[in-house]
Amino acid sequence: MSGLRVIIVRDRGAFDDLERHWWQLWSQSVSATPFQSPSWLLPWWRTFSPGDLRTIAVWSGNDLVGLAPLYLEAHACGWRLLPVGISLSDYLDILCMPGQEAATSAAIAEAALSLQWWQWILPDLPAGAASLSLALPNVEETRSCDHAACPVLSLASCETAASPIPARRRRQLRRAQRAAQRRGRVSIGRSEADPETFVAQLARLHGARWSGQGVLTGAALRFHRMALPRLIANGLARCWLIGIDGAVVGAYYGFHHRGRAYAYLGGYDPAYADESPGAILIGKAIGEAAREGAREFDFLRGRESYKYGWGAVDRWTVQRVWTRSAAP
C-alpha cells in the first residue's frame, strides 16, 4: 500500500522501542497534542496495561509515518479496541505524517480490521483530529459530535493588549490577591525543577480540595510521577505552586504546546479558600501562557462553572464507535 509497511506492536518492549521514531512523528503531526506524546502514553501503558497491546505502527522505509496506540480489552460482548491513554487523556487521536494522511489512515484502518474486536471506540477526538478521516467500510458506526465539552479561552485579544478575561473575574482576582497579601507574604513560582516534590504537593492539595476523593491516588499518582519528568524534559509541562506566609496552599499542573496552553489539574488548601489560591494560579497561568505566545487556554474536559467565569467557550470532542456483529 503506497510502499508502506505496517507492524502491529504487541509487547511493551517493542512499544518502548518506538520512542525515538515516535517523537519525530509527533513533532510533525498536525493534530498532535501532549496527550499523544511518548512522554504521556508510554508511562500510561507501563502503569496500567489494562489489556492486550495492539499498537499499529506504519512505516515508510525507516520512518514512522503513522501510529495508532491501541489495546484490546475483554468485554462481556467480545473484545473492545481502545486507545492507549483512555480516561486520563483529555484528547485522543492517531498520528499521521503530513502529506501522507490518506495513505496512512487507510493503512491503520486496514490493520485495525484485521484484529479481532467486537467494538472499536475512539472517544474525545478534538476538532481536526486525524482519526476523523478513518474509514471502515461495511462496519456500523455511531458518531457523537458533542461527546464532551472542553471550555477554551481565546487569548487573541492579548495581541492588542486587551485582557481576554472578563472584567468581573479580573475584579475577583484582584480581591483574592489582596486577601492573600493580608494573610502573609505571597510567593508564586514554577516548580519543574523538582517534579517529585511538585507531584507530592499537588496530590496533597488536590486530595484536600476534594476531601480525599481526588484523582491523584494509587496507580494514577504513580503514572504522574513517571510522566511528569518526561513532560518537563520535553518542554511540555507547566507547574506552579503558590505559598502564603510560608505555607504551600495551591498547585497548578498544565501543559503548553504549539500555541495552546492546557489546564490539566490543580488543588488548594481549603483552609485558604477565602484567598482563592486556585484562581490566583489560573490567572498567573493564563498570563504566562499569553506571554509565551499561546493563542488559546484550554480548560479541558468538564463543564465546571468556574471555567466559564474566565470567559471560556465550549469546544466539543467527537466520539466514534464502530461495532461488528461478530468478531472475525
pLDDT digits (tens, 9 = 90+) for 71-83: 999 998 899 999 9
In whole angstroms, give the CA distance from residue 92 to residue 118. Answer: 20
> Which CATH number goes with the domain that contains 175?
3.40.630.30
Q: Residues near 211 by Cβ (< 8 Å), separated by ≥ 6?
A: none
Asked if 151 and 303 count as a contact pair (C-beta separation under 8 A), the reply is yes
Which tens digit of pLDDT belongs to each residue from 269-314?
A: 999 999 999 999 999 999 999 999 999 999 999 999 999 999 999 9
- Per-residue confidence (pLDDT) for residue 328, from 0 to 100: 45
Percentage of the chain surpassing pLDDT 90? 92
In whole angstroms, give the CA distance from residue 171 to residue 299. Answer: 21
Count of domains for the chain: 2
Whether residue 134 is found in the same domain as residue 172: no
Query: What domain range includes position 33?
Result: 5-146+318-323
Q: Where are the alpha helices (DSSP H) in 164-295?
A: 167-183, 195-209, 218-233, 277-291
**Closest C-alpha among 311, 288, 306 to residue 239:** 288
Whether residue 171 is found in the same domain as residue 283: yes
Whether residue 131 is found in the same domain as residue 188: no
- Per-residue confidence (pLDDT) for residue 1, from 0 to 100: 44
Residue 292 lies in a domain: yes
Whether residue 55 is found in the same domain as residue 35: yes
Whether residue 10 is found in the same domain as residue 130: yes
In whole angstroms, give the CA distance from residue 267 to residue 204. Answer: 8
- Per-residue confidence (pLDDT) for residue 163, from 0 to 100: 86
Which stretches of 84-198 are assigned E, i.e. beta strand?
95-96, 119-125, 140-144, 152-154, 186-190
Integer angstrom CA distances of residue 150 from 49, 100, 248, 283: 27, 29, 29, 18
**Closest C-alpha among 122, 136, 110 to residue 7:** 110
Within the chain, which residues score under 70 in pLDDT?
Answer: 1-2, 160-161, 326-328
Stretch (H or E) spanning 313:
none
Whether residue 25 is found in the same domain as residue 135: yes
